[in-house]
Structure 1
Amino acid sequence: MTKRRFGRIRKLPSGRFQARYPGPDGVDRPAPNTFPTKTDASRWLINKEAELLSKRWIDPALAATPLETYARKWIDERPGLRPKTLVLYNGLLRNHIAPTLGEEPLNTLTPPMLRTWRKSLLDGGLGPVTTAKAYRLLRSILTTAVEDRMIEFNPCYIKGAATEKSPERPTLTLAEVYRIASGIAPRYRALVLLAAMGSLRWGELAGLQRRDVSLSRGVVKVRRAAVELPTGELRIGPPKSDAGVRDIHLPELVIEDLRLHFEIYVKPGAESHVFTGPKGALLRRSNFQRAWSKAVTAAELPGTIHFHDLRHTGNNWAAEAGATLADLMQRMGHASTRAAVRYIHTRDSRQRFLAQAMSEHLDGLRDDDGTDQDEDDEGDALPVASGT
């Protein structure tokens, strides 16, 4: 009998065949199952040898690691995560991934299993945005598992499942913004106006310091943001992303309100916070919400209006004023075009403005060329529509 070059095959008392092979770590490993014929066992060994030679081999012990165990290690090994992101990841894993998939070995996860898991989240009432976040986190974890050679491929490839499709938020009018600002506690009036006219996030406003605002130049420098953790702890750190570090030029309309706010509510000192609570403490969204709700009601607006809608409103105002995609990305503090593109709307009023501007531009070109639409001496005048 010819000795096999790679691996061993033996016939079991049951009549089936078992295959074994030496792993690259020197451990003798059996195939995960037995085979009905010796030919089947031999074919399996040939494929396993090819995996070893092409460095595609995966350690079965690592591949059997439970998903939750690997996911927690994945999160722990990302020390650069911002506190709010860390809280988000742990919450998504604990509440939406681990209950269903946590005990599953990595190598048993399949596309059909993940489709069923995702559908169960949606059917159970979880919002589509949170479901997309959970799916995107799982996909990132399993991408790293592929890189770590713990699984051969990432089973997360449901088209569109990682895309957040938030419902369109309302855009306020200038009059509505001023109604809210007039109805809120006076110390928060400038906060409301700056959120809209500067397109700032809540955390950026709460982290704003005296040294960050130049009233003479009308510029706000975004260099830090406040984050309120679920534990109630407030932390001041860098903005949400590198793109969040930016200078925002303000419209004149808000400068006088800011100047008055500084005179009354901002303490001396470069590091004094611009917006604080009644007792001078850092702003907390939970405390501010009561004042916000009262102001929205007083303004006779729906209770579904969120503070973040002021930023959304400001972005729309900037787009309607003629901001380019690059302008919006800079103003919003986004590195990706995805968020900014939604504000480049095609509106009838904007189209009429562009048409009028083009008409004036083309008239200027025609005059510069010496072209007269009423003359056709050289046959090169602009054509006149037939009226058909």
Structure 2
Amino acid sequence: MAGKRGFGSIRRLPSKRYQARYMGPDGNRHQATVTFTNKADAEGWLARERELVERGLWASPWEREQAVAASPCGGDGPLAGGPVTVSLFISGWLPSVELRPTTRRDYESLLRNHIEPQLGEVVLQELSKLHVRTWWEALDPTKPRARSKAFQFLHTALNGAVELDLLPSNPAALPRRTRIRTKTARRIEPLSVVELEALADKMPAHLRLSVLIGGWCGLRYGELAELRRRDMDAEDGTIRVQRAVIKVPGGFEVGAPKTDAG
């Protein structure tokens, strides 16, 4: 029988094992590539899938498994059968996740600068909560935002390892007293109306309007840079934000202003 849930469903098979499935963002039904010995494990898998959807990191379970299998850390890769390190797993898992170019660039930077130096050579199956706790405490506390992003990325990547049955549970869990809290490093003082107009007046003529629109409408720079005449309706007093430009290695890329999750 299948049980009703807020996200996905779980049914017990004749083999007494549990199968979890859900309707994905692509409109198709997806199920775990493995079945579970108990219902709690199936519920945990659905919870992790829902988290991926909500954070805009989702790809189908089959696609993620195929990507990891084809990567250097699994399947037919050159290290198949050998020990899979944290660095190798994340490097192989990352291409399987659908990400915006800027997010992918940020994740690659976090892996290279914050995760690999201390955890990269740890064998994935040997990674423990103690490893993660020691790594967390060694991160620079004067950079809380980078610290927070590094932890959240590691947690998400290790969820991928759990989904692929490479880990029984996610070791990136910290006690309540060490949970990540970030605050604005400095108070932002918005420009006054007079200051905004003065700044606009100091700009070259072709950039004056962009300063006013950015100040009054709160557009991001990438959204502002991609505005076209057809996006503005002077009669209705509206602006349609339909595109954004982002800097990527080797140039720029134009895409949607935000993901569905955002």
Q: TM-score, normalised by structure 1?
A: 0.44
Aligned to 1:82: 100
The 5 A counterparts of 1:215-226 are 215-226=234-245
Letter in 2 for 1:233: G
Distance in 1 (CA, whole Å) between partners of 2:233 and 2:189 is 31
Q: Provide the C-alpha distance between the structure 1 equivalents of 2:244 and 2:81, rounded to a whole number of angstroms.
A: 40
**Distance (Å, rounded) in 2 between the aligned partners of 1:62 and 1:134:** 29
Is the counterpart of residue 145 in structure 1 residue 128 in structure 2?
no
Give the superposition deviation at 1:62.
Answer: 7.9
Q: For residues 165-180 of structure 1, what are the structure 2 equivalents within 5 Å? A: 165-167=183-185, 168-180=187-199
Rate the CA distance shift 1:63–1:197 in 2: closer, same or farther, 3 A: farther
1:54 aligns with 2:54: no
Q: Which runs of 5+ in 1 are unaligned?
A: 1-52, 244-334, 336-388
Equivalent residue runs for 1:168-317 within 5 Å = 168-229=187-248, 231-242=249-260
Q: CA deviation at 1:139?
A: 0.3
Q: In 1, Cα distance between the equivalents of 2:115 and 2:209?
A: 42
Which has the greater radius of gyration?
A: 1
1:320 corresponds in structure 2 to none
What is the CA distance between 1:112 and its match in structure 2? 2.5
Please list the CA deviations of residues 81-123 of structure 1 after superposition, one character each: whole Å capped at 9, or x if unmatched. Answer: 1111111111111111111111101222222221221222215
Give the match for residue 106 of structure 1: 124
Match of 2:51 in 1: none
Cα deviation, residue 240, structure 1 = 2.2
Alignment match, 1:116: 134
Residue matched to 1:155: 171
- Name the aligned partner's letter for residue 195 of structure 1: G
1:66 aligned onto 2:85? yes
Where 1:204 maps in the other structure, the secondary structure is helix
Query: How far did residue 242 of structure 1 move?
Result: 2.8
The AA in structure 2 aligned to 1:112 is L
Identity %: 33
Distance change (3 Å), C-alpha of 1:173 and 1:105: same
Contact 1:226–1:237 (CA<8 Å) still a contact in 2? yes
Aligned residues of 1:63 and 1:150 also touching (Cα < 8 A): no
Aligned-residue offset at 1:225? 0.3
Q: CA deviation at 1:185?
A: 2.0
| Counterpart code for 2:107 | Y
CA distance in 2 between partners of 1:146 and 1:93 (Å): 18
Counterpart amino acid of residue 135 in structure 1? F
**Aligned: 1:130 with 2:130:** no
**Structure 2 CA distance for aligned equivalents of residues 180 and 194 of structure 1:** 12
2 CA distance for matches of 1:162 and 1:202?
28
* Shift of residue 222, structure 1, vs aligned partner: 0.9
Runs of 4+ in 1 over 6 A off after TM superposition: none
Distance 1:115 1:166, change over 3 A: farther
Q: Could you tell me how far apart the structure 1 residues matched to 2:37 and 2:233 are?
A: 61
Question: What is the CA–CA distance in structure 1 between the aligned matches of 2:237 and 2:137, rounded to whole Å?
Answer: 50
Whole-angstrom distance in 2 between the partners of 1:92 and 1:145:
18
SS in 2 for 1:242: coil
3-state SS of 1:122 partner: coil
For residues 81 and 192 of structure 2, the distance between their equivalents in structure 1, rounded to whole angstroms, comes to 57
SS of the residue corresponding to residue 140 of structure 1 reads helix
Give secondary structure in 1 for the equivalent of 2:188.
coil
CA–CA distance in 1 between the matches of 2:195 and 2:119?
A: 47
Q: What's the CA shift for 1:215? A: 1.4
Aligned residue in 2 for 1:278 = none
C-alpha distance after superposition, 1:202-238 (max 9, x if no partner):
1101111121111111111111100012x35011111
Count of aligned pairs: 185
Q: Give the alignment's TM-score, normalised by structure 2.
A: 0.64
